[in-house]
Amino acid sequence: MKKLIAAALVGTMVLTMAGCGSKTAETTGSEASSDAAGGTLVMATNAEFPPYEYYEGENVVGIDADIAAAVADKLGMELKIEDMAFDSIIPAVTSGKADIGLAGMTVTEDRLENVDFSDTYAHATQVVIVKEDSDIASPDDLEGKKIGVQLGTTGDIYAGDIKDATVERYNKGFEAVQALTQDKIDAVVIDGEPAKVFVKENEGLKMLDEAFTEEDYAIAVAKGNDELLDKINTALGELKDSGELDKIVDKYITAK
């Protein structure tokens, strides 16, 4: 199996995207970015992706939520998080229903046609989850297998390149994992950190040692909204230099 490296999709500057969710927002991307202070920064996400975004009670929390809050604070804005289907995030950003997308989303050539991306803020891997007694020992063994993915994710995109594989698409990552536990599929391809959570919470599953892909995360902004993109990159740079970005990641990922 040809192993795909997401880094090959990015240029000199590593690009990507991510997201979190909440209530319907009325502020468009152009309105929010021009509102220097006191405005609302609307973030689109799919809150089914721990530890990057997930629900704690009625609130969306996680790495992406905290990063967005820190960026909004530096921009003098109030953060509003909208939770939606993963494949609705880019349309929300391009239509102006959301200003930014943060959802552990990796840049692809197709996405670059529709949105711009910030500087990278996190490194990640796509991994393979199987049952403990599975005969799948490496990504190469996925040929001809039935593979579960979350709809619209890079796992979905890359699984389609596996020779003779059948790809079963689910709206949520945990639905794919449930299908695996019920022997409806042979494996799940998903991001590494959520995979750790799913394996921990579901007895009888394991994660393969060999990564399926390597990739980076960044923030999606409407194409051409250079003013907002520049402000986000400046804020991310300050968060990196101050060590605050590492603190946010370490809060949710204790062992990297």
Residue 236 CB coordination number (10 Å): 21
Cβ-contact 173, 49 below 8 angstroms = yes
pLDDT mean across residues, the chain: 85
Q: Which residue has the higher pLDDT, 154 or 127?
A: 127
Q: Could you give the CA distance from residue 126 to residue 194 in angstroms, rounded to a whole number?
A: 10
Write out the two tokens for 4: 């795909």
101 forms beta bridges with: 44, 220
CA distances from 229 to 55, 85, 118, 177, 233 (A): 27, 24, 6, 35, 6
Hey, where are the domains in the chain?
6-121+218-252, 124-214
Of 217, 189, 220, 194, which is closest to residue 4 (Cα–Cα)?
A: 189
Q: Could you give the CA distance from residue 195 to residue 30 in angstroms, rounded to a whole number?
A: 36
Strands (DSSP E) found in the chain: 16-17, 40-45, 54-56, 59-61, 78-83, 100-101, 105-106, 115-117, 122-131, 146-150, 166-170, 187-191, 205-207, 213-217, 220-222
> Has residue 200 got a pLDDT over 50?
yes
Q: Does 124-214 match 6-121+218-252 at the fold level?
A: yes
CA 221 from chain centre, in angstroms, equals 14
Residue 79 CB coordination number (10 Å): 21
| pTM value surpassing 0.85 | no
DSSP state, residue 2: P
- pLDDT tens track for 140-166: 999 999 999 999 888 888 898 899 999
Its CATH architecture, for the domain 124-214, is 3-Layer(aba) Sandwich (3.40)
- pLDDT tens track for 34-61: 343 459 999 999 999 888 999 999 999 9
Residue 199 CB coordination number (10 Å): 19
The fold of the 6-121+218-252 domain, in CATH, is D-Maltodextrin-Binding Protein; domain 2 (3.40.190)
| Confidence band for 122, pLDDT divided at 50, 70 and 90 | confident
pLDDT of 69 reads: 98
pLDDT of 253 reads: 79
Share of the chain above pLDDT 70, in %: 84
